[in-house]
Structure 1
Amino acid sequence: MAAKWETIAAAKRKALADSIPKEWIIPENIKPGDDVLDVTAWAEDTDWFSDEEKKITSTPAVELLEKLKTGELSAEVVTKAFCRRAAAAQQLTNCLTETMFDYAISTAKKLDAHLKSTGKPIGPLHGLPVSLKDNFNVKGLDSTVGFASLVNDPATYDATLVDILRDAGAVFYVKTNIPTAMMIAESVNNVFGRTLNPRNRKLTSGGSSGGESALLAFGGSVLGVGTDIGGSLRIPAACTGIYTLRPSFGRFPTLKCRAGLAGQEAVNSVNGPMSQHFSAVKLYSKTVVDSEPWLQDPKCIPIPWREVPRKEKLKIGVIWDDGIVKPLPPVTRALKETVEKLKSAGHEVVEWDTRLHAPLIAVMGKMFVADGGKSVEKLLQPTGEPFRPEMTQYQDAKEMGVYELWQLHLERTSLLKEYLDQWNACEGLDALLGPTTPYASPEHGNFKYVGYTGVFNVLDYSSTSFPTGFYADKEVDTIENPGQSALSDSCTETQKDYNPHVVHGAPISLQLTARKLEDEKVLMMTEVVLEALGIS
C-alpha cells in the first residue's frame, strides 16, 4: 500500500515537469547550482531571459494594465513572458502544482482580438496574468492541496473567485504549491515536495501560500491569489518580502474552493492578493468587491468598496511581543526602527497589552483539531500516504464532542468581546503594528510558531503584511544566550534554531492590523506607514 502514494506522486511530478516546453528548460551550463542561494539575482542578470521579458515581468501590474488596455503591449506577449518566467521559477524553487500555458496563451489571443475589434478591454484586469494557489478550482485541473488521493481528480467547475477574475479579464497560467491540507507554515507535501525561497534557497518561502510567494518574489507572477486561515497569506509574504492583505471574512468569495479541513468554520479561511507591488493589492481588492461577489457567494457580505479618506496622523498600538514567543533580533530591530520613523512623522504610538493573545491562540489550536484529525486522515488513507512530521498534532488529536466544541465557541466569543473592549478603551486607536512572524524567514523545517498572525484570524481582523526595507544582518542581529530570556518553551526553541549567518540579507516584514471589516482602512494606513518608512 505504501508504494501507491509514492507512485502517484512521482507520476504527478513527472507530468508537471513534462508540461514545461523543452525550449523553456534552463540549460545545465547556465542553471544556478545549489550553492547559488539568491536566484532572483540570477533571473535579472542572465541573458536567458530577453530584455523585453525582464522588463515585462518587473513592471507593476497597474502599469502593465495601462499598456494592455491601450494595446501598447499585447496580452499574448505579456502572458508568454510570465509563462516562461514561471517555468524557470518552477525549475529553481519547485513552486508550481499545475501549468496551463497553452490555455493561457489561447486566452490572451482572444483578449487581444476583442480589444482590436471593439477598442475596449474586457474588464479591469484585461490581459493580466494572475497566478492561483493550488486550492482554487479550475475546471479540468487538479486541486490536490498536497494529498496523493486528490491527484487525477480534476475539478468539474471553477471556483467563484476564478469566474470573477476571468470576467475581469485575468489570464490564468499556473497554480502554486502548498503544504499538506494547507495547514503547515511551510509549503511542503508528499506529492510535490518542498518549495524554496528564491531570495535564499536555504530559507522557507512560508506557507500555506508559499508557492505563490516564491513565484512572485522570483518575478514569475505580478499578482497572485492565496488563502489565509492562520497566517497563510501573511507568513509567506513576510518570508519573501512582498505585500498582502488578509481581509475579513465575507469581503472576497470563497465558494467552490477546495479546503484542507472542509467544513471547519470555527476559524474561517479567507483569500487575498499577493504582489511585489502594493498597488496591485489595492487594485485586486477593489476589483473583486466591485464585482458584487455577494450575488454569487451567499457568505459574502454586501458591502461595496468604500473609499477611506487619508488620515495624516495615526494612533498605533505597537506589539513588541505576544507574551509567548519573542520576535528574533532582525524583526525586533525593524519594529523599533519603524516605530521611531512613525513617531518622527508625527504619528502617535502606544504600547499594546497582548495578554489576550495566548488564550486566543490556544482556542485556535483546539478548533483546528476538533475533528480528531479525521479530515486529514481520510484523505491520507486511500493511498496509504503517511502523516508528515509537521502534522503530528493532527495525527495525535482526539475528537471533540459537539458539546465541547460549543463550549469552545462560547470561550472564543468571550475573548472576542474582551479584545473589542480593550481596543475601545484605547481611545482613538486606528491600528496595531507588530511582527508578522517572529522570524525574518527561518531555515527549512524551523517555522514553528504562527501566533502573531493566527490571533487575528480568530478575531477576523483586517491585516496587511508589508516589507519594511530593513534586512537581517548577521553582525547586528545576534543572540548571546539563546533561551536565557525566553518567554516559553516555544520561545526557547525559536531562539536556539536561529542562525544569523544563514538568515543574513533576508527581508524583514511587519504586520498592520485594523478592526474587523476595515479592509479599505488598513490599506490606506499601510500606505501611510510605508511613506513614513520612505517606501514609495
Structure 2
Amino acid sequence: MCPQFPSRFSRERSPSGSPRPGQDLPWEREKHPSVSMVSILSLPLPELSKKLRDGSLPPEHVFYSYVGKALQIATETNCITEYLQESETQLRKAKLAGKLGLLYGVPVSIKDSINCQGHDSTLGFIKNLNKPMAEDSVLVQVLRRQGAIPFVKTNVPQSLISYDCKNLIFGQTFNPLLYTRSPGGSSGGEGALVGGGGSILGFGTDVGGSLRFPAAFCGICALKPTGNRLSKKGVIPSVLGQKAVVAAVGPMAKDVESLALCMRALLCEDMFSLDSTVPPLPFNEEVYCSTQPLHIGYYETDFFTMPSPAMRRAVREMKKLLEDAGHTLVPFELTNVDHVVFDFCIRGMFADGGASFLKKFKGELEKSSMGLLFWLAKSPNWLKTVLSWIAKPFMPRFSSILRSMRANTVDEVWSLQHEIEEFCHQFIAQWKKLNLDVMLCPMLGPALGIGYPGKLSVAVSYTMLYNILDFPTGVVPVTLVTDEDEDELKGYQGYFRDWWDRTLAKAFHGSVGLPVAVQCVALPWQEELCLRFMKEVETLVLKTDGLV
C-alpha cells in the first residue's frame, strides 16, 4: 500500500506521479523560478542546516523538495506509511520562530514504532490501526523544539522482530538500490527513504541490528547509541520489559557529519528534562574533533556467521587504510559467539518461552515467514527439550535454538542477567588489556534478497553482540561487491555447513555493485568517539575514491 499524500502532492500535479530527477517541483517553479529541487536535495545536512538558519534558503523550499522526493521514493520502494499533515502547520510556525534550533527547518522521517501525536504506531499489526498516540515521544518533542519538521512515518516488519520489512497493512518495502533486495529491518522504511534520498535525516530503533542492517543494505550511515543515551520514552519496543538485549533509538543519514549534528541537537537540556532517566551528557565536541591517532581493535570474522568475501575484504582494506593514516590496528579475538547468540540473545529475548511474542499476534494473521518462531513459541518445554536432544548430533544450531526458546523461571532469568553482566565485564577487560580506543568489525552484507532475512535469523551475530554489550556502534559503507567477490563466493560453505549456511550463500549471490559496510564500535557512553572513528573511516574511503 502506497501512502496517500495530500492531493496537491498527488499524480494530478505530475504525470509520472512525482518530480523526475532534475525537475523542479511545479509549485516551486511557479513561485520561485530560480529554486532547483535537485540543488536542495544535493546539499549535505550541515550545509543545508546552515543555509536554513542564516536565511539564505527558505524552509518551505526545502520542505516541499523533500516531500516531492519522498513521494517518488515511496512510489518506487513502498517505504512510507503515513504523511504527517501537521508538518505543514509546523512549517508555517517555524518561520515565526525567534530562537532557531540546530535543526531549524530540516524535514525528518520517523520510524512507525516511534510515537507521533495523533498518528498510529502499528508495528505492522492490524489491531493497532486507528489508535492514534496521545502525545509525541520525547525524541519527537526534542526534534520539534530544535526546529526539525517530522513529515512522514516509515514502514517496519510485523512485530519488529525481523531484519526484513514487510507487514499485512503496508506490504513489502524494497531496497532503493535494487528492488529485488531487502532494505533491511526493522527500520527498513527509514533505510529505503534515506538511502533513496527522500529524507535527509531519519530515526529508527535497534534491538539486534535494526538500524545497522538498513544502513548497510541501503548504503548509508547509522548510529546505534548506548541504550539510554537518547530517550526511549514513547518508543514502542518489540518485546515489552525484556532487558537482556538492550534496545536503542538512533539516527540514519547519508554521512557521518549529519549524524554528529543530529546528536549535538538531541543531547540538550530539553532531552534531559523531558526524560530524567537519560544521563545529562551533552555532546563532547573535543572528543569528536580530536585528531590523535587511534588504537583500533579489529576482527574479520566472529566464527559463527562466515563473512561473505566482500565483508572480509571490507575489513582488510579498511585496516590497511587506517594503518597508512597512522593509526594502530590490533587483532581482537572473539570467542563463544554461539553462546552469546543462543544463550544470551535468543534466550534473553524469549525468556518467557515466546508467550509475549504470541500474545502480540493474537487476532492477527500469522505469516509463514515466522512459522518456525510461532511453532517454537507454542510448543511446551518438554517437547523443546526432547527435540533439542534428538537434533543435537545432526543440527547443532537448531538444537540450540530449541533449547534457548524454553520458558525460564524467575531464578533462571536472574542468573542469565548476571551471566550477561559478567560477560560484559570480561569483554571490556579484554578491550582494555589491548589498550583499545575503538573497534573495527564486519557488518553483514551485501543486502540479502527479499524473503531471505526471515529465513536467516541466525545471521544477526555481528550486530546483536553489541546490543548484549550495550556498546555504541555505527555503520559506514566502505566498498562495493566486485566480480572477484562474486567468484570467490562459489566456495562459501559456512562454519556449520547446515541449511542456514547454504541459504546465506544463496542470499549473497548476484550482488555485484551493491554496498558493503563495516561497524565502528566504542565503549558505553562514548558516542562521540564512535562518531569520530566513523568519520575517520568515511574520510579515508572518500580519499581513496578521489572524492576529497
TM-score range, shorter chain: 0.7 to 0.9
Contact 1:324 1:491 (8 Å CA) reproduced: no
* 1:492-529: CA deviation from partner (whole Å, max 9, x where unpaired): 2355314543x121111110101111111111122222
CA distance in 2: counterparts of 1:291 and 1:385, whole angstroms: 44
Q: 1:28 to 1:352 in 2, by over 3 A?
A: same
Pairwise CA distance, 1:305: 2.2
One of 91, 97, 100 as aligned partner of 1:108: 91
Could you say which residue in structure 1 is the equivalent of 2:438? Answer: 431
Could you say which residue in structure 2 is the equivalent of 1:379? Answer: 360
Contact 1:373 1:395 (8 Å CA) reproduced: no
Contact 2:142 2:270 (8 Å CA) reproduced: no
Identity, % of aligned positions: 30
Please, which runs of 5 or more residues in structure 2 have no aligned partner?
A: 30-34, 378-405
Could you say which residue in structure 1 is the equivalent of 2:447? Answer: 441
* 1:105-127: CA deviation from partner (whole Å, max 9, x where unpaired): 2211111133xxx5x52x11111
Letter in 2 for 1:214: A
Determine whether 1:44 maps to 2:9.
no
Q: How does 1:327-406 map to 2 (within 5 A)?
A: 327-362=307-342, 363-382=344-363, 384-390=364-370, 392-397=372-377, 398-406=406-414
CA distance in 2: counterparts of 1:77 and 1:485, whole angstroms: 51
Determine whether 1:19 maps to 2:5.
yes
CA distance in 2: counterparts of 1:490 and 1:315, whole angstroms: 39
Q: How does 1:506-521 map to 2 (within 5 A)?
A: 506-521=514-529
CA distance in 1: counterparts of 2:371 and 2:425, whole angstroms: 31
Letter in 2 for 1:306: N
Contact 2:308 2:508 (8 Å CA) reproduced: no
Q: Secondary structure at the match of 2:360?
A: helix
Letter in 1 for 2:436: L
Contact 1:472 1:504 (8 Å CA) reproduced: yes
Could you say which residue in structure 2 is the equivalent of 1:479? Answer: 488
Contact 2:46 2:261 (8 Å CA) reproduced: yes
One of 67, 79, 83 as aligned partner of 1:99: 83
Pairwise CA distance, 1:28: 10
* 1:418-476: CA deviation from partner (whole Å, max 9, x where unpaired): 212211221x2111112121x211111223211111000100011110011x2112344
Contact 2:233 2:275 (8 Å CA) reproduced: yes
* 1:205-244: CA deviation from partner (whole Å, max 9, x where unpaired): 1001110010001111000111111111111100011111
**Number of residues of Structure 1 aligned to a counterpart in Structure 2:** 502
Q: 1:475 to 1:436 in 2, by over 3 A?
A: closer
Could you say which residue in structure 2 is the equivalent of 1:464? Answer: 474
Please, which runs of 5 or more residues in structure 1 have no aligned partner?
A: 1-12, 33-41
Contact 1:341 1:532 (8 Å CA) reproduced: yes
Pairwise CA distance, 1:394: 4.9
Q: How does 1:26-425 map to 2 (within 5 A)?
A: 30=16, 44=21, 52-100=36-84, 102-114=85-97, 118=98, 120-121=99-100, 123-291=101-269, 293-307=271-285, 308=287, 310-362=290-342, 363-382=344-363, 384-390=364-370, 392-397=372-377, 398-425=406-433
Q: 1:26 to 1:467 in 2, by over 3 A?
A: farther
Could you say which residue in structure 2 is the equivalent of 1:7? Answer: none
Q: Secondary structure at the match of 2:517?
A: strand
CA distance in 2: counterparts of 1:510 and 1:490, whole angstroms: 26
Contact 1:145 1:259 (8 Å CA) reproduced: no
Q: 1:75 to 1:490 in 2, by over 3 A?
A: farther
Could you say which residue in structure 2 is the equivalent of 1:6? Answer: none
Contact 2:298 2:330 (8 Å CA) reproduced: yes
Q: 1:52 to 1:407 in 2, by over 3 A?
A: same
Pairwise CA distance, 1:139: 1.1
Q: Secondary structure at the match of 2:361?
A: helix
CA distance in 2: counterparts of 1:352 and 1:181, whole angstroms: 35
Contact 1:483 1:495 (8 Å CA) reproduced: no
CA distance in 1: counterparts of 2:320 and 2:268, whole angstroms: 37
Query: What's the TM-score once normalised by structure 1's chain length?
Result: 0.88
Contact 2:315 2:442 (8 Å CA) reproduced: yes
Pairwise CA distance, 1:43: 5.6
Contact 1:95 1:212 (8 Å CA) reproduced: yes
Q: Which has the higher mean CA deviation after the structures are superposed, 141-150 or 490-499?
A: 490-499
Query: What's the TM-score once normalised by structure 2's chain length?
Result: 0.86
Q: Secondary structure at the match of 2:53?
A: helix
Q: Secondary structure at the match of 2:416?
A: helix
Q: 1:80 to 1:366 in 2, by over 3 A?
A: same
What's the Cα RMSD here?
2.4
Letter in 2 for 1:155: M
Contact 1:139 1:156 (8 Å CA) reproduced: yes
Contact 2:493 2:502 (8 Å CA) reproduced: no
Q: 1:484 to 1:441 in 2, by over 3 A?
A: closer
Q: How does 1:480-499 map to 2 (within 5 A)?
A: 481-484=490-493, 486-487=495-496, 489=498, 492-499=501-508
Q: 1:354 to 1:179 in 2, by over 3 A?
A: same
Pairwise CA distance, 1:291: 3.1
CA distance in 1: counterparts of 2:67 and 2:489, whole angstroms: 46
Contact 1:231 1:450 (8 Å CA) reproduced: yes
Q: Which has the higher mean CA deviation after the structures are superposed, 171-180 or 409-418?
A: 409-418
Q: Secondary structure at the match of 2:36?
A: helix
CA distance in 1: counterparts of 2:14 and 2:484, whole angstroms: 35
CA distance in 2: counterparts of 1:45 and 1:340, whole angstroms: 39
CA distance in 2: counterparts of 1:399 and 1:327, whole angstroms: 32
Q: Secondary structure at the match of 1:465?
A: strand
Pairwise CA distance, 1:530: 2.4
Pairwise CA distance, 1:47: 7.4
Q: Secondary structure at the match of 2:335?
A: coil
Contact 1:182 1:260 (8 Å CA) reproduced: yes
Contact 1:234 1:245 (8 Å CA) reproduced: yes
Q: Which has the higher mean CA deviation after the structures are superposed, 356-365 or 160-169?
A: 356-365
